[in-house]
Amino acid sequence: MEQAVLVLIKPDGLKKSLTGNILTRLSETKLEIVAAKMVRVSKELAEEHYRHLKDKPFFGEIIKYLQGDLHDRKKVMALVYWGKDAITKCRTLAGATNPEEAEATSIRGSYGRITTSGVYENVLHVSSDDTEAEREIKLWFKPEEIIVDLYATKSAVLKDSPVKAWAEK
Ligand code: UDP
Ligand code: MG
């Protein structure tokens, strides 16, 4: 089945200069990258992304983690991969959530760690099923930022909503 999946290279992955390694590993899947960008993550975006974990004791820490507060790297790289069995392929390469339990050759097994405060710093996020992937892709990307039509869209005219544009030299 053709699927889309959201992949985030988290702030620890960026700080450890792992972008190239992670993209190379993911390229083994032969999936297509249909969207990619750098994002400065607001508290609202981080909390919405991890809203299913709101009641967990580590919620506050993973919000700070995704925002880059733990790594002095206030950004993540967000990508959408598309193709056959995209979710299983990307999650298998990523490895288990707990980097100590992840297979040693997986991305998280190779580069992840558990902090002294117990947070799993596991260098990337991968959506875990179709419903989560759709919710997350719509959260992180606008329709025009994705080069294929993944989900139904509607036309909207935004009145009086200022946008930033390039200034003349
Ligand atoms: N996490 C953690 N401790 C836990 C469970 C999760 O620090 O006991 C962090 C970890 O960074 C993980 C993120 O919270 O990637 C989201 O958790 P989820 O259960 O969705 O795992 P994932 O889908 O990322 O494998
Ligand atoms: Mg998850």
Q: How would residue 1 be classed by pLDDT, with cut points 50, 70 and 90?
A: confident
pLDDT of residue 100: 98
Clarify whether 125 is annotated catalytic.
Answer: yes
pLDDT of residue 97: 98
pLDDT tens-digit map of 13-36: 999 999 999 999 999 999 999 999
Q: How much distance in Å is there from the Cα of 36 to the middle of ligand 2?
A: 20
pLDDT tens-digit map of 36-60: 999 999 999 999 999 999 999 999 9
pTM: 0.97
Give the mean pLDDT of 129-137. 98
* Ligand at shortest distance from the CA of 8: 1
Task: Write down all domains in the chain, each with its CATH number in brackets.
Answer: 2-145 (3.30.70.141)
> What strand order describes the sheet that includes 124-126?
32-39, 76-84, 2-9, 124-126
Q: What is the DSSP letter of 41?
A: P
Residue 2: beta bridge partners? 84
Which atom, in ligand 1's list, is nearest to the CA of 94?
25
Q: Which one, of 15, 87, 103, 97, lies nearest residue 53 by Cα?
A: 97
Q: How much distance in Å is there from the Cα of 37 to the middle of ligand 2?
A: 20
Q: Does the CA dihedral 42-50-137-96 come out positive or negative?
A: positive
pLDDT tens-digit map of 57-86: 999 999 999 999 999 989 999 999 999 999
pLDDT tens-digit map of 83-129: 999 999 999 999 999 999 999 999 999 999 999 999 999 999 999 99
Which atom, in ligand 1's list, is nearest to the CA of 97?
25
Q: Please indicate whether residue 127, judged by its CB atom, sits closer than 6 Å to ligand 1.
A: no
**Best residue among 41, 49, 61, 62 to mutate for probing ligand 1, ranked by most atoms within 8 Å of CB:** 62
What rounded mean pLDDT belongs to the chain?
A: 97
Q: Please indicate whether residue 62, judged by its CB atom, sits closer than 6 Å to ligand 1.
A: yes
